[in-house]
Structure 1
Amino acid sequence: MARYHRNEAREWAREHLVGVANVVIPTMTSDFRRLNEKAIRHDVETTIGHGFAGALACSEVAITPDEYEQFTRIMAEQANGRIIVVHQAVFNTLEDNIEAVKRAEAAGAELVLLGYPPFFYPKSYEEVYNYTRALCDATNLAVMIFPLPSWGFSRLHPSDLPLPLLRRLVDDCPNVVAIKAEGGMPHIMAAIEVHRAFHKEVVISMPIEWEYIPLAQIIPVQFCGTNFSAYYGPVLPKIFNLIQAGKYDEATEWFYRLDPARKVFNSVPQASNGLINRVMWKYEAWLQGYNGGPLRHPTARIYSRDMTALRRGQEAAGLNPTSDPDEAFFIGRHPE
């Protein structure tokens, strides 16, 4: 159960969405038949140890609705209120997503990251509004709206979710508590626009670290997530704290120290046609102490050339990746 009532969601978000949130990707057992509970609990503990404020329970993998509910429940149980568990609302249909968000709410998630299915192809923003409003109305949980080019809405407007649509959703859905500002990427205009228009009403998350670190030094940004920052281990939460303390020179120094790892991150195939390579993200996190281990097929793959580059990028940035051989990633730290 969430720690707030629906009509208190925005006040809860303003108080609790403070910090950086990463992504936890579910690990399967070695026979791929069930979830590896020990591995999931390990990743939650590592997330907490690294100083993150929350973690997305990733659903963009080959997982059944029952397994996803179990995965969310394990995360919430292990977190025990120490971090916020975020439900990833990207299933096949609106009906599936309504069922999934109800399951996630019962399992202990406290925030919804609202996305859109691959076969949702709206002809107007009225359809986008109706879909989003229906999902928000179906849950008592706080919802983070997510403008993003991957949804395919750029054909309707370059910002992906334009200001008039966001205005309606903020006005009509009291449990819309945040906007994850990735609209119009790689440009930052949409992120600046939503901050200017809505930061007094809802939390604005700037999840891309190379945008967050400089922008947060000139405008107030209280939340950075959900994102790939497990690749940097505990560093981005540390930078967040420096920025909150006004120690901008130290935060900027860290920005430059991360540059070798950042350049490698952007040089390998992180995503293709709107779907993130979760195996890649899992390996990047494994280098920093997370579990690694199997994902069920169908899934993307990771190759030696990419693993070598990512490891060297972390080494060059002083991030001290694990000395375990890459073959150990495919087994995981807590094999079952």
Structure 2
Amino acid sequence: MHHPSFTNDLKRINEKAIRHDARLSVERGFTGTLAVSEVNISMEEYVDFVGILRDEVGPTIQVVHHASWSTLEDNIEAVRRAEHAGADLVLLSYPPNFYPESEQEIYDYTKAVCDATDLAIILFPMFLWGFSPRIHQSDIPTRLIRRLLDDCPNIAVIKAEGGYPSIQGPIECHRLFGEEVVISIPVENDMIPLSQLMPIQYSATSNHEYYGTAIPEVMALLRDAKYDAAAEIYWATHAARKANAAAQQKLSGGYFINRLAWKFQGWLQGFNGGPLRLPTQRVHDADMFALRKGLLDSDLNPSMDPFKEFFVGRNPA
């Protein structure tokens, strides 16, 4: 996952830092990355950000456009421009001001974005959108997913977090749609155990860089059905997993991911870090110490640089 990096005066994106993170993702064995838009960034800057990622990684990994803009019109413009800039897939989001009162409204919004691009779409049932329980307890019910798959042929992936933290949503999606589209389980706490019972080809998108090379390694093991070796990695990283879970409960308030905290998690593993513009959530010493201790307890070799350096970034400009 790539969060944009900015110059230290926060007036421009930091190309050197973005390229640093892109190269590191390739080195760590990741096969794709999300170009995060859910921060204070202009559309012009974001399109440049996607283009820099595409240029740096070449055909090595997939660049996922983050369709997280304020209106349907903005999202249609952004997806078209991201496609032109070199994105490979689209992670579909829903704006905070989108308040559907029927399944049809979700269908109409989703289809409008799908129709605006030739890129493959990642459909994302998730509690963050506020569809549950008003629309359905599973956020986007399977009967609506069925309609969308029938009418939107470029939906290629379901990021199955409906009804989270229940695992019923991922299991339903696998049972009903697993032979038609790729089922992604981004929460590695669920993905590693479930993949020993059902095939999971994709774990995107999430803050996997926090675990260093562990997630690409475990995905390779799972593909080869080396479940004992995958289980060893699961338990070896469990302290970090618990630290991550505790941080998310504390930091991700308002049904919104704390992007600064996720950027810090990447910094602990050698990624750039660096400042984000207001409005942004914060990360404090207690949170940073706890996240670093989780990595230490899992022998995942976090950076021991002073925390002050995170707010500067590894490639200041």
Given the alignment of the two structures, is residue 51 of structure 1 paired with residue 29 of structure 2, yes or no? yes
Given the alignment of the two structures, is residue 30 of structure 1 paired with residue 11 of structure 2, yes or no? no
Structure-2 separation of matches of 1:153 and 1:140 = 27
Residue equivalent to 2:49: 71
Residue equivalent to 1:172: 151
Aligned-CA RMSD value? 0.7
Residue equivalent to 2:172: 193
TM-superposed CA distance for 1:294, in Å, is 1.2
Residue equivalent to 2:192: 213
Partner of residue 268 from structure 2, selected from 277, 282, 287: 287
Moved beyond 4 Å, runs of 4+: none
Structure-2 separation of matches of 1:24 and 1:83 = 12
% of aligned pairs identical?
A: 51
The residue matched to 2:246 in structure 1 has which SS? coil
Partner of residue 143 from structure 1, selected from 112, 121, 126: 121
Residue equivalent to 2:76: 98
Structure-1 separation of matches of 2:80 and 2:39 = 19
Letter in 1 for 2:115: D
Q: Does the 8 Å contact 2:29/2:213 carry over to 1?
A: yes
Q: Does the 8 Å contact 2:251/2:283 carry over to 1?
A: no
Q: Does the 8 Å contact 1:239/1:251 carry over to 2?
A: yes
Q: Does the 8 Å contact 1:294/1:331 carry over to 2?
A: yes
The residue matched to 1:223 in structure 2 has which SS? coil
Letter in 2 for 1:175: N
Letter in 1 for 2:162: G
Q: Scaled by the length of structure 2, what TM-score is found? A: 0.98
Partner of residue 331 from structure 1, selected from 290, 312, 315: 312
Structure-2 separation of matches of 1:270 and 1:236 = 23
Given the alignment of the two structures, is residue 233 of structure 1 paired with residue 212 of structure 2, yes or no? yes
Structure-2 separation of matches of 1:325 and 1:92 = 36
The residue matched to 1:104 in structure 2 has which SS? helix
Given the alignment of the two structures, is residue 131 of structure 1 paired with residue 112 of structure 2, yes or no? no
Letter in 1 for 2:146: R
Structure-2 separation of matches of 1:274 and 1:49 = 32
The residue matched to 1:24 in structure 2 has which SS? coil
The residue matched to 1:195 in structure 2 has which SS? helix
Residue equivalent to 1:203: 182
Letter in 1 for 2:81: R
TM-superposed CA distance for 1:323, in Å, is 2.2
Deviations 1:304-334 (CA, angstroms, capped at 9, x unpaired): 0011111111000000001211111111110
Deviations 1:228-278 (CA, angstroms, capped at 9, x unpaired): 111001111101111111111111111111111111111123411221001
Structure-2 separation of matches of 1:206 and 1:253 = 20
Given the alignment of the two structures, is residue 89 of structure 1 paired with residue 89 of structure 2, yes or no? no
Q: Provide structure 1 residue ranges, at least 5 long, that are not aligned to the other structure.
A: 1-22
Letter in 2 for 1:213: I
Residue equivalent to 2:161: 182
Q: Provide structure 2 residue ranges, at least 5 long, that are not aligned to the other structure.
A: none
Letter in 2 for 1:145: L
Length, aligned pairs only:
314
Q: Does the 8 Å contact 2:120/2:154 carry over to 1?
A: yes
Structure-2 separation of matches of 1:218 and 1:237 = 19
Higher RCO (CA 8 Å, separation ≥ 6 residues) = 1
Residue equivalent to 2:289: 308
Residue equivalent to 1:277: 258
Structure-1 separation of matches of 2:191 and 2:83 = 29
Partner of residue 297 from structure 1, selected from 249, 268, 278: 278
Q: Scaled by the length of structure 1, what TM-score is found? A: 0.92
Q: Does the 8 Å contact 1:150/1:273 carry over to 2?
A: no
Q: Does the 8 Å contact 1:149/1:184 carry over to 2?
A: yes
Structure-2 separation of matches of 1:182 and 1:50 = 25
Q: Does the 8 Å contact 2:19/2:52 carry over to 1?
A: yes
Structure-1 separation of matches of 2:138 and 2:129 = 11
Q: Does the 8 Å contact 2:65/2:91 carry over to 1?
A: yes
Structure-1 separation of matches of 2:241 and 2:195 = 18
Residue equivalent to 1:114: 92
Q: Does the 8 Å contact 2:272/2:313 carry over to 1?
A: yes
